[in-house]
Amino acid sequence: MRRGPRLLCFLLSAALVLSACSKPTSPPSFESPSPASGTVTGLSADAAAIASERGLSPADVAAALKTYVPSGKLDEAVMFASGGHSGQVIAIGIPSMRILKNIGVFTPESWQGWGYSDETRAVLEEGSVEGQLLTWGDTHHPNISETNGEYDGEYLFINDKANARIAVVDLKDWETKQIVKNPLTLSNHGATFIDPNTNYIFEASQYAMPWTGEYAWMDEYQEKFRGSLTAWKFDRAKGRIDVEQSFAIELPPYWQDLCDAGKGPSDGWVFCNSINTEMATGKLTEDDPYFETSTAARDKDYLHIVNWRKAEEVFKAGNFVRINDFPVIPIETAVKEGILFFTPEPKSPHGVDVTPKGEHIVVGGKLDPHVSIYSIKKIEEAIASGNFEGTDPYGVPIIPFDVALEAQIELGIGPLHTVFDDRGYAYTSLFIDSAVAKWSIGSERPEDGWKLIEKVPVQYNVGHLAALEGDTVKPGGKYLVALNKWSLDRFSGDAEKGEFPGTGPLLPQNLQLIDISGDTMQVIYDMPMGIGEPHYAQIIKADRLQSWSVYPENGWDPMTHSVSPYAVAAGEERIERNGNEVHIYMTAIRSHFTPENIVVKKGDKVHWHITNIDRAKDAVHGFGLAAYNVALSLEPGEHADFTFVADKEGVFPFYCTEFCSALHLEMMGYLHVEP
């Protein structure tokens, strides 16, 4: 009896301590129901009835099952598509094809406050041309940063064709951080292609022109007009292009088109194709043909083969000239140093794409029904042995076509762009045929050789293709997206038949998801794209992205990725006046701004600093100020500043533009500008 109760008490204590660990992790009412298990052998009566009622074929039902992402479930990949002349980037979930976000880049975007705060305005202003703030861009080719030839999901680069600019988007917060303006040219196209470790972002000029700022008439085209290939050095630690470490290579006044950087055995090279090696100058007299004809007079144009590693050495050795205060390796130097070579390609080609193993370069014929496949081994051998068929008028050595060529495959009319899967197949868009051609890479599928496998129609006029990590060293296969230029009847019908007549004369583009996992390609989804014209896109597996859901600390300046010197903490809100300069230090938290009533005098220069001190995921505040054209997005922890001269007297309401809480409408205040 003596030890009994004591032992009992010990055991009781132990049991109590153990019971402390029994806390559940979520209440029963919020637990998701477990999905029904078992094998689906056929449609249920309900599902069959729905399919029948909606007129869905078995293939339609299969497509629906492949693409539908139920509420609460996530997509497996993210496609970053250019927004064309919307100037933005559009992120889309794969396979659902749901738009996730439109990222402001070259064009002000008021939801994100992009271009309205001092910080974001400064980025737009970096991209000004001769003092002119540009408020649009023509985004073409997004490229996700790579490590060892695979997407690392850290940064996204995109070019503006309209003004030859490059933007850097940080995928930690999906915000644009930098815009650089090319000082040599006003248009680009072959950008933003990167080498396998993102040392450089390559930008080829498109329309040859005198170096920016110079004037010349067309009779001086061959002497004064030039193209260029710029190698922008990317400083990954800073997340910015290092302009000081960047340089360009002067190119003949052909219109350089798309580019791709080598990988594996072709690492160290950049390949760009060209149109208008005719150096046509357009319709100057009644008798002259238009550019569309005169640029396609010759049978062949030149694939540009550029040794960027050698160019980097030459640049670092100081062997360059400065044009518009930018280092440029002249053509003669590039030729002398073995940086620049040409090989003929069927006239006016479009895409140039390096195969995943880096052994071959695929050029889409556009005006020629073939893809022409070049071998880097053969190119390097020709260079090493000096096997050239002469030079172009600018002295650039030309490797004979048949020496550099590995294979040609006739695919159809208008082959443009090529992407790859994980099984040794390549996929090439056929613009004029409105189809996608699947063909085998002979070196990877010796059983098939270099041959066309099959074609699938797409609707309509397909431009670029994007495949899951399909331009990396390890393509993911499974998904292919055709970025079609025309949608025609896809999203608009016949009003006479009582159908939806469509969206007016400006039709959405049609992005089509294609299942490439099986033996035959299947179009499984049509996605209307009504906010831009995506040119190129890249698809990254979602788990490679490491995005933030809230900023790491309150007062965060997304441009410096550190706490802003103007950050405002709770309790430190204030208004400071120094002469006619007024600093307003404000916080935003659900559901009020502090301070709420602000008095300044007409003519004051107002520096307004706002920190969102909310820390909860999705607790975003907006800030809109009437009459002064201010729109901010204040994400959890974010700080923003804006500056204006209070030149209008009166009372101006400001309010939270995000529906942040039940008292969102009440989250407002007044700016009083005294006469």
> Which residues contact other proteins by CB under 8 A?
2-3, 5-6, 9, 12-13, 16-17, 20, 22-24, 26-27, 29-30, 589-591, 614-616, 661-663, 666
Distance set, CA 346 to CA 259, 266, 334, 591 (Å): 16, 22, 24, 64
Of 141 and 621, nearer to other proteins (C-beta) is 621
Cβ of residue 113: shortest distance to other proteins, in angstroms? 23
Cβ of residue 16: shortest distance to other proteins, in angstroms? 6
d(CA 353, CA 142): 15
Cβ of residue 32: shortest distance to other proteins, in angstroms? 10
d(CA 272, CA 565): 45
Task: Tell me whether strands 668-674 and 650-655 are parallel, antiparallel or unpaired.
Answer: antiparallel
Q: What are phi and psi of 234, to 5 degrees?
A: -100, 125
d(CA 292, CA 277): 13
d(CA 159, CA 165): 6
Q: Do you know the residue count of the chain? A: 675
Structural contact between residues 183 and 159, judged by C-beta atoms closer than 8 angstroms:
no
Of 72 and 386, nearer to other proteins (C-beta) is 72
Of 3 and 497, nearer to other proteins (C-beta) is 3
Cβ of residue 621: shortest distance to other proteins, in angstroms? 13
Of 445 and 592, nearer to other proteins (C-beta) is 592
- DSSP characters for 337-380? TT-EEEEEEESS---EEE-TTSSEEEEE-SSSSEEEEEEHHHHH
Cβ of residue 589: shortest distance to other proteins, in angstroms? 7
β-strand partners of 251 = 227
Of 358 and 636, nearer to other proteins (C-beta) is 636
Q: How many CB atoms lie within 10 A of CB 651?
A: 11
> Which residues contact residue 197 at a Cβ distance below 8 angstroms, ignoring those fewer than 6 apart?
146, 147, 148, 149
* DSSP 8-state secondary structure symbol assigned to residue 115: T
d(CA 409, CA 369): 8
Cβ of residue 639: shortest distance to other proteins, in angstroms? 17
CB-count burial class (<10 Å; 0-12, 13-18, 19+) for 222: middle
Of 368 and 635, nearer to other proteins (C-beta) is 635
Cβ of residue 73: shortest distance to other proteins, in angstroms? 14
Any alpha helices (H) in 386-533, and if so which ranges? 401-404
Q: Which 3 state secondary structure label does DSSP give 123?
A: helix
Q: Which 3 state secondary structure label does DSSP give 650?
A: strand
Rg (CA), the chain: 29
d(CA 628, CA 584): 16
Cβ of residue 20: shortest distance to other proteins, in angstroms? 5
Of 569 and 627, nearer to other proteins (C-beta) is 569
Cβ of residue 560: shortest distance to other proteins, in angstroms? 24
Cβ of residue 550: shortest distance to other proteins, in angstroms? 11
Of 65 and 570, nearer to other proteins (C-beta) is 570
Of 13 and 560, nearer to other proteins (C-beta) is 13
Cβ of residue 591: shortest distance to other proteins, in angstroms? 8
Of 411 and 656, nearer to other proteins (C-beta) is 656
Q: Which 3 state secondary structure label does DSSP give 84?
A: strand
Of 63 and 568, nearer to other proteins (C-beta) is 568
Nearest to 620 by CA among 653, 569, 657: 657
Structural contact between residues 533 and 485, judged by C-beta atoms closer than 8 angstroms:
yes
Nearest to 619 by CA among 640, 635, 631: 635
Cβ of residue 14: shortest distance to other proteins, in angstroms? 8
d(CA 634, CA 586): 12
Cβ of residue 36: shortest distance to other proteins, in angstroms? 22
Of 15 and 40, nearer to other proteins (C-beta) is 15
d(CA 171, CA 542): 12
Of 28 and 393, nearer to other proteins (C-beta) is 28
